[in-house]
Amino acid sequence: MVDVITIETPGLGDRSYLVTDGEVAVAIDPQRDIDRFVELLESRRLRLTHVLETHVHNDYVTGGYQLARTTGAAYVLNALDRLEFEHTGVVDGDVLEVSRTLRIRVLGTPGHTFTHLSYAVDNRGETIGVFTGGSVLYGSTGRPDLLGSQYADELARHQHTSARRLLEQFPATTPVYPTHGFGSFCAATQTEGTSSTLGDEALRNPALTLDVEDFVTQTLQGLDEYPAYYVRMAPANSAGPGPVDLSPPTPADAVGLRARIEAGEWVVDLRSGTAFAAGHVPGTLNFSLDGPFVTYLGWLLPWGTPVTLLGRTAEHVAEAQRELVRIGVDRPAAAATGEVEEWSDRPVGSFPVTDMVGLREHLERHREHRTVVLDVRLDLEYLPGHLPGAVHIPLHELLERLDDVPPGQIWVHCASGYRASIAASVLAAAGRDVVAIDDDFSSARGAGLDVVPAAAV
């Protein structure tokens, strides 16, 4: 019996897979921290024969190269990919014999990239699943613009064709196992669910329910910004990423932390947004581990800036460190654990936290004064509905546009509160008077606030 083991990486919205017949196994799209795979292989006494990449990834540094080197498995990528290391090149139609009963069929499914592959895994002649990478996702497809906007139209058309090819080639009951689509910015549109079959996708996936022109139009109109660090991932993956070092960072004390902040380094507080607001080291930034920490830290971080981590426990620091290596931030400059009072050689900073009701009450009490409401959501979130008079600066632009934030106290919100906490920490570090709104934007109308579309402004 074939077992498909899913290895979640929720911080990046991705999944990796280990497929085994009980004796041998193949790995598909492994993340860079390969110890998770190695531990599974050892605990189950499995021999890894192949490491399969569906594509040269744009959203994380792969662990495939090192996993293959560590285990002696064949490292399989598209023969047309331009890579700087030895690998097993395959093309559409190739078959990989894994064991007497297990084999893999290679399927060309361009769209997310030009050389994207999917893999159909057969057991005794029966297809037990198709591993679709960034092709068919749950209710969506991988975005077609990561290689450059000039290719987006062409690649969207390829996505449409590739999805239909899979539907035509396999039974409707065939399970689909995508890599992206669980919060990843690699998804073209919002995905749905945690499992699916090709038959399910035929009923809901735009690539399978729309004609090609409508699909291309809808897909391209639905694309918003994606994290800035993406541009560095494919070159790293094409070069063959080195191994990771997850040993504890150098300890830092209060004096050392202050020196790092004054030198322009990033000192990152991993605690929740509410804990940070209640008390933090002045000049630190808040990227909480309770949300998509690495996506937004990687997006905002000026590449190459040293990063120091502050966490309540060594386990929190280790978790953040593991997430960072997945996007190529290999070693923290330092770390400190404990309580905020131990990290600061001066009085701690703080700022208020409220909700949408608190914002409405404040606006009613101060009608004669302008309140600066800062909306840090993406463009496609802001345009359908926002608060009248709100200043719109997407979070990833805030560091470069601090001068665009009007004077006065700033009430900052996003869609759920996570990005508002990051933005509030950035503003506080810049010396601004800030209030963080820790609430869902969807509750604004219920709180008595007006919400207007862009066309109404």
Residue 455 has a pLDDT of 66
pLDDT at 370 over 90: no
Kindly list the distances between the CA atom of residue 213 and the CA atoms of 2, 168, 174, in Å, as whole numbers in the listed order. Answer: 39, 20, 27
Q: SS3 for 123?
A: strand
What percent of the chain clears pLDDT 70, i.e. is strictly above it?
A: 99
Q: Residue 68 and residue 308: Cα distance in Å, rounded?
A: 31
Cα 51 from chain centre: 22
pLDDT at 456 over 60: no
Tokens of 302: 């000026």
Q: Residue 67 and residue 38: Cα distance in Å, rounded?
A: 8
Q: Which helix (H) or strand (E) holds 40?
A: helix 35-44
The band of 457, judged by pLDDT with boundaries at 50, 70 and 90, is: very low
Q: Residue 29 and residue 37: Cα distance in Å, rounded?
A: 11
Please tell me the CATH superfamily of domain 353-456, with its number: Rhodanese-like domain (3.40.250.10)
- Strands, E assignment, 199-295: 266-269, 285-286
Q: Tell me how crowded residue 204 is: count the other CB atoms within 10 A of its CB.
A: 14
Kindly list the distances between the CA atom of residue 169 and the CA atoms of 43, 166, 180, 296, 329, in Å, as whole numbers in the listed order. Answer: 36, 5, 22, 39, 41
Tokens of 389: 């008079």
- When pLDDT is averaged across residues 192-196 and rounded to a whole number, the result is 91
Q: Which distant-in-sequence residues (6+ apart) come within 8 Å of 207 by Cβ? A: 136, 141, 159, 160, 163, 164, 215
- When pLDDT is averaged across residues 370-378 and rounded to a whole number, the result is 95
pLDDT digit string, tens, across residues 384-406: 999 999 999 999 999 999 999 99
Domain ranges of the chain: 3-239, 254-343, 353-456
The band of 222, judged by pLDDT with boundaries at 50, 70 and 90, is: very high
Residue that is written with structure tokens 């509160």 in the block = 417
| Bridge partners of residue 78, in order along the sequence | 90
pLDDT digit string, tens, across residues 423-448: 999 999 999 999 999 999 999 999 99
Q: Tell me, what DSSP letter sits at residue 249?
A: P
Classified by CATH at the fold level, domain 254-343 comes out as Oxidized Rhodanese; domain 1 (3.40.250)
Q: Tell me, what DSSP letter sits at residue 142?
A: B
Q: Residue 281 and residue 310: Cα distance in Å, rounded?
A: 10
- When pLDDT is averaged across residues 330-336 and rounded to a whole number, the result is 97
Which amino acid appears at position 106 of this protein?
V
Crossing angle of helices 293-300 and 418-429, in 10° steps, is 40
Q: Residue 216 and residue 188: Cα distance in Å, rounded?
A: 11
Q: Tell me, what DSSP letter sits at residue 427?
A: H
Query: In the sheet that 14-20 helps form, which strands lie side by side, from edge to edge?
Result: 3-9, 14-20, 24-28, 47-52, 74-78, 88-90
Tokens of 122: 């057969």
Q: Residue 116 and residue 94: Cα distance in Å, rounded?
A: 14
Topology alike, domains 254-343 and 353-456? yes
Of 35, 85, 113, 115, nearest to 237 by C-alpha is 85
Q: Are 294 and 11 in contact (CB under 8 A)?
A: yes
More confident position, 75 or 188: 75
pLDDT digit string, tens, across residues 35-89: 999 999 999 999 999 999 999 999 999 999 999 999 999 999 999 999 999 999 9
**Maximum CA extent, the chain:** 79
| Domain 3-239 class, CATH top level | alpha beta
pLDDT at 159 over 50: yes
What are residue 401's phi and psi, to 5 degrees? Answer: -125, 25
The band of 189, judged by pLDDT with boundaries at 50, 70 and 90, is: confident
Taking the complete model, does pTM exceed 0.75, yes or no? yes
Kindly list the distances between the CA atom of residue 159 and the CA atoms of 108, 145, 216, in Å, as whole numbers in the listed order. Answer: 11, 12, 9
Which amino acid appears at position 17 of this protein?
Y
